[in-house]
Amino acid sequence: EWKNAYTQVYIWLRPWDMQRACTQGNPYPLGDAVRDVQALLDRATDRQLQFSLDTVETVGIYSVKEWTGQTPILGELLAPEYYRLKCTQHLRGLPLLRAMDIELMNNDAPKNVQKHAVFAPGDAVVRIASASSYSFGVRPVHETAVLHDDIPLCPLASIQQSIEKLIVSGHLRSVHSLRFGLVAYDDPDSADGIIAMPAWVVKGNYYRNPAVSDNPWNSFTPDGKAFIGGANNYLTDIVINAQTGRTLIDLTDVRDVLAPEVVTKQ
């Protein structure tokens, strides 16, 4: 029995650490992979689009010693691991930040929410084992118009207060990062268009129900037969409107994926 397993590592490594890091059974350094991926994206887009590295995952084929509920205890490595690098497109110097996780989407969510969940706008995902062995997919965003050239943003202190409220209430258990950039909302006047607006994205562990204390991924009974909840209660990306400081929690709600009203005056 085997399983295609991966581990996720956020790319906050110093350059010399990246050059020393490599996957199991594959001596290809992470630093070389990042360099080769950047060159690949430059060629694929004719240097017309800018991307930055977001996250790094390592993927390999392992045997499974045994199962603990739905959790496998991995055994022998059956095939060398490779990297899965997720990159983010930049517009006007700002990254298009990921605003929801496809793994956590509700299948009963509105269709426009599911559209976003398929592939985040501006994403580039590259699977690479060496400079000559790779595959990739890109969903580029092309700017067609500027709706507002300059808009006011709320103070950073207001953003911090919004985060602190989530922590004090017991919803937000940890904060891994806080990033400023653009978040893609559905354009209500276009079937395929998006509107990119400034936002802060908190990456961490958020629970819709603050009373839940177990690991959200241990969502089955030990025999693996009964689902006990947890995953649908859990989010990893919290979006905060950079103009109002409002947090967008229920990402299956239509109002949270439609572009909010723009504040043009303070």
Per-residue pLDDT tens digits for 172-205: 888 888 899 998 877 777 777 788 889 998 888 8
Tell me: pLDDT of 79 over 90. no
63 φ, ψ (degrees, to nearest 5): -75, 160
| Confidence class for position 170, pLDDT limits 50, 70, 90 | confident
Least confident stretch, 30-44, 220-234, 249-263? 220-234
Contacts 24+ apart (CB under 8 A), 40-49: 40/126, 40/128, 40/134, 40/136, 41/87, 41/124, 41/126, 41/136, 41/138, 44/136, 44/138, 45/138, 45/140, 49/89, 49/140
- Which of 138, 172, 196 is the C-terminal boundary of a domain? 138
- Does 114 share its domain with 218? no
| Confidence class for position 233, pLDDT limits 50, 70, 90 | low
Burial 83-104 (b: 16+ CB within 10 A, else e): bbbbbbbbbeeebbbbbbeeeb
- Does 58 share its domain with 101? yes
Q: What was the pLDDT predicted at 56? A: 84
Per-residue pLDDT tens over the stretch 30-70: 889 999 999 999 999 999 999 988 888 888 777 878 877 76
Q: What was the pLDDT predicted at 73? A: 77
22 Cβ contact list (under 8 Å, min separation 6) = 28, 29, 30
Containing structural domain, residue 182: 156-256
> How many structural domains is the chain composed of?
2
Give a yes or no: residue 147 inside a domain: no
- Does 55 share its domain with 122? yes
Greater pLDDT, 252 or 159: 159
From 125, 144, 265, select the one nearest 196 (Cα to Cα).
144
- Does 126 share its domain with 208? no
- Does 16 share its domain with 126? yes
- Which of 138, 170, 185 is the C-terminal boundary of a domain? 138
Alpha helix segments (H runs only) across the chain: 15-20, 30-44, 111-118, 156-168
- Does 179 share its domain with 90? no
Give a yes or no: residue 106 inside a domain: yes
CB 154 within 8 A of CB 244: yes
- Does 174 share its domain with 117? no
For residue 120, count CB atoms less than 10 angstroms from its CB and return exposed for 0-12, middle for 13-18, buried for 19 or more. Answer: buried
- Does 220 share its domain with 108? no
DSSP state of 235: E
Greater pLDDT, 13 or 55: 55
- Does 76 share its domain with 200? no
- Does 29 share its domain with 69? yes
Tell me: pLDDT of 126 over 90. yes
Return mean pLDDT, the chain.
75
Q: What was the pLDDT predicted at 228? A: 45
Give a yes or no: residue 105 inside a domain: yes
- Does 42 share its domain with 127? yes
